[in-house]
């Protein structure tokens, strides 16, 4: 285990003072019921591993980050198991938090972006790139959305577009996403309540998608409608969660 800081033992073997960038804090080590506990002010804190670590027993941490191999032969408990290996790339106006172990992934996307302008009352499908999966064979096992469209103008606030997730960007003259499989092959299109900021919430775990290494690895939040009128800039906001596996 590696600490990126200067350590000085000032108050005994189980209480160290850690200096980093001119600042210091106390770091406590203790053994409780056979468990090693590392913390600040006697509370568990982040456990950071920058090289291999092997533990025979239990590991407990509020946040556990490993940049190399970590092996636990008993229970592993972490409120946040942050993953940095085999992760994808968030789209414009999207932030991603990656949980997992490099093979199993839970990706949480926070979206705050805008659509292309809706030019006129017309039948049109559109979408936003929210995530690009890493290269390789991928299986998407489950997906969740809590997503809202908010019109800038008033003409489409009562519209109820079809919204969903797919590996293909929705486009063309389509009133529903089901016209093209790739528009909704991750999460089938749902009917939004409006374009006035009401989130459409849906979870699917029965729409498993196998993405071969040569297939599209993009994830789009798509929407389609017979729009009631034009809108200069519709805001797209909310949360998307993907559970997926990096196969190879």
In sequence order, the β-bridge partners of residue 98 are 107
Q: For residues 117 and 230, what is the distance between their CA atoms, to the nearest angstrom?
A: 8
pLDDT tens-digit series, residues 126-140: 999 999 999 999 999
DSSP 116: P
- Residue written as token pair 């533990």: 55
Ordered by start, the domain boundaries in the chain are 6-81, 89-246
Contact assessment for residue 145 and residue 239, using Cβ atoms and an 8 Å cutoff: yes
pLDDT tens-digit series, residues 190-235: 999 999 999 999 999 999 999 999 999 999 999 999 999 998 889 9
Q: For residues 194 and 156, what is the distance between their CA atoms, to the nearest angstrom?
A: 8
> Mean pLDDT per 10-residue run, the chain (248 residues)?
44 52 59 54 45 50 51 49 87 95 93 90 95 97 97 94 98 96 96 97 96 97 95 94 95
> pTM of this prediction?
0.72
Sheet with 35-40: strands ordered across: 6-8, 15-20, 23-32, 35-40, 43-44
What is the CATH code of the structural domain delimited by 89-246?
Answer: 2.60.120
């Amino acid at each position: 285990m590696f600490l990126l800081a200067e350590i000085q033992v000032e108050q005994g073997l189980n209480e160290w003072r850690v200096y980093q960038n001119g600042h210091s804090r106390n770091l406590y080590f203790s053994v409780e019921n056979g468990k090693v506990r590392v913390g600040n002010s006697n509370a568990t804190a982040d456990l950071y591993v920058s090289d291999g670590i092997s533990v025979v027993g239990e590991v407990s941490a509020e946040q556990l980050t490993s940049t190399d191999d970590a092996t636990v032969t008993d229970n592993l408990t972490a409120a946040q198991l942050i993953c940095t290996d085999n992760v994808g790339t968030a789209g414009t106006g999207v932030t991603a938090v990656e949980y997992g172990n490099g093979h199993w992934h839970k990706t949480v996307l926070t979206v705050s972006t805008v659509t292309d302008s809706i030019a006129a009352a017309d039948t049109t499908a559109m979408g936003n790139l929210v995530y690009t999966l890493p290269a390789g064979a991928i299986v998407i096992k489950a997906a969740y959305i809590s997503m809202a469209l908010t019109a800038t103008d008033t003409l489409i606030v009562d519209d109820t577009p079809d919204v969903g997730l797919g590996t293909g960007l929705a486009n063309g003259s389509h009133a529903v996403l089901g016209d093209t499989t790739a528009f909704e092959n991750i999460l089938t299109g749902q009917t939004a309540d409006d374009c006035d900021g009401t989130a459409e919430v849906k979870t699917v775990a029965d729409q498993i998608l196998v993405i071969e290494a040569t297939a599209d690895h993009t994830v789009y939040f798509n929407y389609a409608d017979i729009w009631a009128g034009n809108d200069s800039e519709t805001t797209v906001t909310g949360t998307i969660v993907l559970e997926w596996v990096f196969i190879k």
